[in-house]
Amino acid sequence: MAPLDLLRNELQNASPAAWGPERVAQWQEWLRPLTVPDLLALSAGVSTEGRALLVQMLHKWLLMQGSTTPAVGLVWFNLGVELATLGRPADAAAAYQNALLLRPDLWQAAVNLANLREAAGDAAGAAELLGQALQDDQARITLFNQRGRVLEGLRRLAEAERCYYQSLLIDPAQPDVVQHWAFTRQNMCAWPVFGPPVPGRAPADLQAQSGALATLSLTDTVAGQRRAIADWLDRRWANAPAPTARLAPVDGYAHERLRIGYLSSDFCAHPISYLLAELFERHDRSRVEIYGYCSSPEDGSDTRRRVLAALDHCRLVRSWDDDSVARLIRSDEIDILIDLNGATAGDRLRVLRWKPAPVQATYLGFIGPVPVPELDYLLTDAFAIPPHLAADYWPPPLYLPGVYQANDSRAIQLPSVSRPAEGLPDNCFVFCCFSNAYKISDRMFDAWMAILKAADGAVLWILADNEWAAANMRARAADRGVDPARVIPADRTDPARYRARLALADLFLDTGPYNAGTIASDALRMGLPLLTLSGEPFASRMAGSLLKAMDLPELITTDLPDYISRAVRHATDPVWHAALRARVTPAKWHEALGDTPRFARAFEDTLLRVAIRPRD
């Protein structure tokens, strides 16, 4: 029998107990005449039990060769793959480094080594390695995409944007890359978002592939959002096996108390938890029982501790696969499962595909259509989704009475702040916007510049949490004939200071078509009026819903010229502005938006109305 066949037989019958010195010496002799192609063939199809022996064989062969030809780099690469599979990352990294010394163009080794460095906490080292690798076009695409993703995570946005764009110049037909490229540019306020030309792709075509969250800022029609989000889901699930069965019984359960399950990756220091913590605490335990399926990171925050403590049953499922989470929900016999992510980072939408609960709804995390067939409802209110538009949504809206948004009424301990300490002039009208940069469209920013030109001396205080957003906004101001010094960037800060400094401004200018949500509620709570532009989709009507609940119709506009003129009047008519601001009080907020016990009862009533119960 040939040496290669003898070694294959050895791997197939691998037994650590049989690896004595004599046996090892025997297979070392069989290794000696093998070539690089033989070693590559030997690595194929090895069983789990044979991997440790294969590692020994590959390493011994490499030591016996003493060769530095590029072909040997392939054997080092295979050794790295096997070591990584065995859970030996440091040894795998050394093997990949040796492979790259012999084959600098072996981009697969660069990718694997970069992944090991990133997993070890060296994201910067991973990005550097991916940037140095040599490759052909297909390999360059992979490396550009990988490096862009790592740089985006490091918030090195300009470098990430260049990587994604270079990848698209090689192959424009990459929807996932379009999504990351667009969202990176949105966060940089690099306008127009689809300004740099992509060969053979029109801006409208690129916009349609910009991903779920970015779509809410780019599209002001329900139909456009629904199409883009459905396409995004189709791409995500294209190669994923479909669930084989519905898990929950069609006729529901007969529990004395309604079992509500909340599914989220945001049970941590996140706006969703800031809004929902008190709702969980205020649920009437004589009527409902609360389960939480938490795939959130452990961030050690007080918010996380508070949310988890408010659950009757907490299931930590971050490391679980979707199938297992779905089966756990089924075993808990949840009556109504409420997804709190929608189409956002960390979502577990595939859990819903198994239909683990008789009734399934999505709420608060994603303010738009979530076209998952197994979802029954989207929790909202009649202003946020007017009834005449209900048929355009999937899932269909389930209307809460009053306002859709839950809030936490707990008292807030605020630090002392002042305009000078925040870099603001003392004696001028201060417009502000603390929404995330990706929500700011060039059309809306141009409207703000028109407001500043008409409101002499006023300034715009705006969240710009990266250097590119700040620079691009000030450059745009100059291009529109506004002194860039009148655009004052604000940094991110802790929740208490962020809320306190809202009271320093005179008027919050809302974004559109993606409104402020949590921030809108915070502004109104701090006595800061907010001017919004309400459009067609849910995302474009969030702030209007809050203002309607507080009986402030003067702050709701429906076209851009009216939005501009009302903002200018606030800055130029101090008597009128003061009269309106006097109606925006913490007491009014608590009455309209912060009565969480009342909201909790209405929320439960709504769920009880649609719960499925067995027939007698």
The predicted model gives 235-251 an average pLDDT of 86
* pLDDT classification of 444: cutoffs 50, 70, 90: very high
pLDDT tops 70 at residue 15:
no
Give the pLDDT confidence score for residue 151 in this predicted structure: 95
Percent of the chain whose predicted confidence (pLDDT) is above 90: 74
**DSSP assignments along 128-195, one per residue:** HHHHH----HHHHHHHHHHHHHHHHHTT-HHHHHHHHHHHHHH-S--HHHHHHHHHHHHHHT-SSTT-
Stronger pLDDT, 231 or 28, i.e. the higher one: 231
Give the full edge-to-edge strand order of the sheet including 359-362: 313-316, 288-294, 258-264, 336-339, 359-362, 377-380, 397-399
The predicted model gives 387-414 an average pLDDT of 95
φ, ψ dihedrals at 470, nearest 5°: -60, -45
* pLDDT classification of 418: cutoffs 50, 70, 90: very high
Find out whether 184 and 214 touch, Cβ atoms under 8 Å. Answer: no
Stronger pLDDT, 579 or 238, i.e. the higher one: 579
CA angle 406, 411, 415 (to 5 degrees): 120
Give the pLDDT confidence score for residue 72 in this predicted structure: 84
* pLDDT classification of 20: cutoffs 50, 70, 90: low
Give the pLDDT confidence score for residue 591 in this predicted structure: 96
Stronger pLDDT, 129 or 13, i.e. the higher one: 129
CA distance 277 to 266: 11
Q: Which two tokens stand for residue 187?
A: 């966060």
The predicted model gives 288-302 an average pLDDT of 95
Percent of the chain whose predicted confidence (pLDDT) is above 70: 96
* pLDDT classification of 158: cutoffs 50, 70, 90: very high
The predicted model gives 191-200 an average pLDDT of 92
The fold of 258-399 is: Rossmann fold (3.40.50)
Stronger pLDDT, 156 or 239, i.e. the higher one: 156
Give the pLDDT confidence score for residue 300 in this predicted structure: 92
Tens-digit pLDDT profile for residues 521-553: 999 999 999 999 999 999 999 999 999 999 999
Give the pLDDT confidence score for residue 1 in this predicted structure: 63
Judge whether 258-399 and 420-593 match in fold. Answer: yes
Give the pLDDT confidence score for residue 434 in this predicted structure: 97
Tens-digit pLDDT profile for residues 333-376: 999 999 999 988 889 999 999 999 999 999 999 999 999 999 99
pLDDT tops 90 at residue 5:
no
Q: What is the mean pLDDT of the chain?
A: 92
Tens-digit pLDDT profile for residues 463-490: 998 999 999 999 999 999 999 999 999 9
For the chain, domain boundaries: 258-399, 420-593
The predicted model gives 14-26 an average pLDDT of 63
Tell me 263's DSSP state.
Answer: E
pLDDT tops 80 at residue 47:
no
Query: Which top CATH class is 420-593?
Result: alpha beta
* pLDDT classification of 60: cutoffs 50, 70, 90: confident
pLDDT tops 60 at residue 17:
no
Give the pLDDT confidence score for residue 63 in this predicted structure: 81
The predicted model gives 387-398 an average pLDDT of 96
Tell whether omega for the bond before 192 is within 30 degrees of 0, i.e. cis: yes
DSSP-assigned beta bridge partners for residue 431: 460, 507
Tell whether omega for the bond before 199 is within 30 degrees of 0, i.e. cis: no
